[in-house]
Amino acid sequence: MEEVIRLENVVKIYRTGGVVTYGLRGVNLVVYRGEFIAIMGPSGSGKSTLLNIVGLLDRPTKGRVLICGEDVSRMSSKKLAYFRNRKIGFVFQHFNLINRLTVLENIELPLVARGMPRKYRIELAKKALIMAGGDLSWLPKRPNQLSGGQQQRVAIARAIVGSPEIILADEPTGNLDRASAKIVMQTFLKLNRAGNTIVMVTHDPEVANCTQKIYVIRDGKIVAVEEPDPSRCVIETVK
């Protein structure tokens, strides 16, 4: 099996005003192509820190990070930006959409950064929104004219519009009701079946149980790997 993510003894130390905080205390993790994994753990245990490092939004203090076999610390800033744009799609708990742009413009953003002509951008944005369980009538609207569940589907469309092979999601259902959480998880499962590798942070057992493997993180370290129970996945439990 092909490794798409490898973390070797990754340590993250935050230094703010003389105060030292450990985000991660030596994490080892390998994710293979096509896997769908969940990361669970208490608040402050390092879940977002881990995801941000994998997503190239932050750098480790110590240790090695490989994405698609390439050592991130050896990449130029140009290559890092390329990897962020092409290889990784990020979904956040608070959607992180831009309200002064339309839904269409939000979804197109990763393609604008690539210099893709408008005609193709619109085509791909529509395809992504449908894949994410959204509706094309949302395209001219502003994100804040949509419900939370709808906004998250737009955010997922933005994350997948450029066909990244890795999708990272930090509490993607954290602000959603059960019905919306179910729709969002159906989308992630569909993306996984289509070949995407997915790493999802969640504190919701009914979300974690939809994945293939649950890593438990505590105090900056992975302390257990658990087998999910698919009969307790939100898709099965919410009618």
The site for ligand ATP (CB under 6 A) is made up of 14, 16, 21, 23, 41, 43-49
CA–CA distance, 97 with 159 (Å, rounded to integer): 11
Which CB sits closer to Mg ion, 141 or 221?
Answer: 221
73 contact, one of Mg ion, ligand ATP, none, CB 5-8 Å limit per kind = none
- CA–CA dist 48, 172 (Å, integer): 12
Are the beta carbons of 230 and 209 closer than 8 angstroms?
yes
Q: How far is the CB of 47 from Mg ion (least distance, A)?
A: 5
φ/ψ region of 62 (left if φ > 0, alpha if ψ in -120 to 50, else beta) reads beta
Nearer to Mg ion, 44 or 195 (CB): 44
Interface with Mg ion includes 49 (CB under 5 A)?
Answer: no
43 binds, among Mg ion, ligand ATP, none (CB under 5 to 8 A by kind): ligand ATP
Which token pair is 9?
């003894």
- The window from 5-13, 42-50, 143-151, 217-225 that contacts Mg ion (CB under 5 A) reads 42-50
* Residues 132/185, Cβ–Cβ less than 8 Å: no
* 112 CB neighbour count, 10 Å cutoff: 11
Of residues 67 and 217, the one with the C-beta less far from ligand ATP:
217
Minimum gap (Å) between residue 171 Cβ and ligand ATP: 7
In the complex, least distance from residue 121 CB atom to Mg ion, rounded to whole angstroms: 31
16 binds, among Mg ion, ligand ATP, none (CB under 5 to 8 A by kind): ligand ATP
Are 201 and 173 a contacting pair, CB within 8 Å?
Answer: no
Q: Which does 77 bind (CB under 5 to 8 A by kind): ligand ATP, Mg ion, none?
A: none
18, exposed or middle or buried, with CB in 10 Å at 0-12, 13-18, 19+? exposed
- Write phi, then psi, for 205 (nearest 5 degrees): -60, -35
Least Å from the CB of residue 26 to ligand ATP: 14
CA distance 152 to 25: 31
Closer to ligand ATP by CB, 43 or 137: give it: 43
Task: Compute the least distance from the CB of residue 53 to Mg ion, in Å.
Answer: 13
**Cβ neighbours of 101 (radius 10 Å):** 14
Q: With respect to ligand ATP, which residue has the nearer C-beta, 175 or 186?
A: 175
Instruction: State yes or no: residue 48 binds Mg ion (CB under 5 A).
Output: yes
Confirm or reject binding of residue 93 to Mg ion (CB under 5 A).
no
Cα(37)–Cα(159) distance, rounded to whole angstroms? Answer: 17
Q: What's the rounded Cα separation, in Å, for the pair 202 and 184?
A: 13
Q: Give me the least distance between CB of 51 and Mg ion, in Å please.
A: 8
| Binding stretches for Mg ion (CB under 5 A) | 47-48
